[in-house]
A and B are shown apart, each in its own frame.
Chain A
Amino acid sequence: MQSLRPLLWIGPAIALIAVVVLWPVVVLVHASFQNIASDGFVVGGAGFTNYNDLWHEPALRGVVVRTVIWVVAVVVVTLLVSLALAQLFNQRLPFRRLARTALIAPWAASVMMTALIFRWALDPYSGAVNIILHALGLVKMGSNTADWLGRPTWALIWMIGVAIFVSLPFTTYALLAGLQSIPDDVYEAARVDGSGTWRTYRLITLPLLRPAILVATTINVINVFNSFPIIWEMTRGGPGYETSTTTTFMFILKQAFIGESAAMSVVNFLLVILVVLLFLRATRWREQVTR
């Protein structure tokens, strides 16, 4: 009886995770080996046909390369900017809480709505961003130069910008939390040593922030890898699949090619696990994080 006692407390959590999170993985993997009609009915087994079709998808290579660029660019820039922001917003400022609350807006708002407002502001004929750039003489309204989202490379750059924008609040707050957990006496000691500001930051603050950086980065990698609304609302992954990542590609395939979409998901899934494991291993998270 005693050994069953924990189940009373943690059983519901396990059950919920099993039903909602783990079982879909099983269904997903199973679906990737089935031949599924576009109305969702299973026509029969498919062996590796779905994977084979996916492999021969002309767009796949570009999609995968783009996904890597997308994840690395967003996560790295987010971290660097957040380190600076956390430092700034950790200062004693008048009405600091007000400023911090503003910082949180992109986190509170739905990513999908933030993406829509950027799409609107980038409209080549009436978008606010283009009005300003036009006034500065950088673009011409209605021309190719103002059509940021119509050109795949620029569309990707802008979408990376939006992804960074929405990732900053969480990351900055995580780092702020980390900063506040550094005891004052550490700094006192450094001051006594006569260390300069930068030196103090590099030798004391950064190492002590390491756990916070680790956690924030891991969560960002997962979030950005699976990010859907930004690309969906700004370009739908187009033209063609030229601004698609694996996640939006999977979603587009799902409309009519369910089995192949499932195969894409499985690949996506393995990729994200691989990336996170590599990252955790590279940063030796166990030493940092286990209590």
Chain B
Amino acid sequence: MSAVATRVGAVTDVDTPLPSRRLRPIRRRTFVLSVLAYGIALLFLLPYLEMIVTALRPHDQLLAANLLPTHFSFSNFTTIWSTGFGGNLLESLAIAGGATGVVLLVALPAAYYSARHRFRGRSLFLLLVLATQMLQPAAMLVGIQREFSNFGLPATLSLILVNAGFNLAFAVWILNAYISSIPVELEEAAMIDGTSRVGALARVTVPLAAPGIVTALIFTFIAAWNEFIVALTLSLGLPTNHQPLTVAINNYIGEYSVDWGHLFAGAVIATIPVIVLFAVIEGRVVGGLTAGSIK
């Protein structure tokens, strides 16, 4: 199942500049393609720009039928904290961070071992991982709810476990492929030098697999950060200001009004960290997916 992550040759671009004789037409082509690409990129950003504009609308212009308000107001961003939004942020951070930590601790050894060893039950294990990949919490919500209600765990811990469990498969899968593409000789060389297996894993494999690990972890973090349906089901025992972000934002849809201003201010605040995170590692996402830089 390592198709996405199959090893590759060079990560160089397919469309390398061709001989100078054909430079002019290529330039025009590049121009057209650039306009197209940036137009599409803008299209992808538009909804989020609208989100920001709405969050910045003065209260009395919220329902006005204009694309832009006459002036902007930051009051939604200052008053949102009095609704307990800070606690919601921390809760989501705890859940997403916790789930990411659990995934790292659990997926890395499993992926490493199954990539390096042909043990009995290996294919059964990989099949199990593959099968999990096909299951989503939404499909078995009633089961999750009934199981965890019997555990009596704190809601935060339940959500960490559920998010870790459902993102484990993807992490194992990616890491397995990534580690497979690292020549085993590198580790063996380290072990000849007297390093233990775990030492070789830590000093040789992990650094070389770092792009894959980062990718897997960020996938997990973002998935947990944005998770909605399980949070909506399991976090209900928590006080309002300790519910995860998605549930808190959903709660701005109230009885006598939908608090769109705070809703989108919250959405903007909740979205910035993940977009920044993605922007930082964007290059490595593709790198991670293609298990690139090892030759």
Give A159 Cβ to nearest chain B Cβ, in Å.
14
Q: Is B56 an interface residue (CB 8 A)?
A: no
Main secondary structure of the interface of A (DSSP, over half): helix
On chain A, which size bracket covers the interface? 35 or more
The stretch of A57-65, A114-122, A148-156 in contact with B is A114-122
Within 8 A of B (CB), among A162-213: 165, 168-169, 173-174, 176-184, 187, 211-212
Given contacts A92-B13, A179-B14, contact A112 B228 (CB under 8 A): yes
Chain B residue at smallest Cβ distance from A211: B3
A88 touching B119, Cβ below 8 Å: no
B134 touching A273, Cβ below 8 Å: yes
B14 touching A272, Cβ below 8 Å: no
Within 8 A of B (CB), among A80-121: 85, 88-94, 96-114, 116-118, 120-121
Q: Is A73 an interface residue (CB 8 A)?
A: no
Within 8 A of A (CB), among B90-119: 102, 105-107, 109-110, 112-114, 117, 119
Given contacts A117-B48, A226-B138, contact A131 B67 (CB under 8 A): yes
- Number of A-B residue pairs having CB atoms within 8 Å of each other in the complex: 304
Which residues of A are found within 8 Å of B286, using beta-carbon distances? 173, 176-177, 180
B226 touching A110, Cβ below 8 Å: yes
**For the complex, what is the distance from the CA of A113 to the CA of B262, rounded to whole Å?**
13
Q: Is A143 an interface residue (CB 8 A)?
A: no
7 pairs from A and B in contact (CB 8 Å cutoff): A9-B110, A27-B146, A88-B33, A112-B249, A116-B264, A181-B7, A184-B10
- B-contacting residues of A (Cβ < 8 Å)? 3, 5-6, 8-10, 12-14, 16-17, 19-21, 23-29, 31, 40, 85, 88-94, 96-114, 116-118, 120-121, 125-126, 128, 131-132, 141, 165, 168-169, 173-174, 176-184, 187, 211-212, 214-216, 219, 222-223, 225-229, 233, 247, 250-251, 254, 258, 261-262, 265, 268-269, 272-273, 276, 288-289, 291
- A-contacting residues of B (Cβ < 8 Å)? 1-17, 30, 33-34, 36-38, 40-42, 44-45, 47-48, 50-51, 54, 63-67, 102, 105-107, 109-110, 112-114, 117, 119-122, 125, 128-129, 132-136, 138-147, 149, 161-162, 164-166, 168-169, 172, 180, 222, 225-226, 228-229, 245-246, 249-250, 260, 263-264, 267, 270-271, 274-275, 277-279, 282-283, 285-286, 289-290, 292
Closest 5 CB pairs of A and B: A20-B165, A28-B143, A24-B143, A211-B3, A9-B113
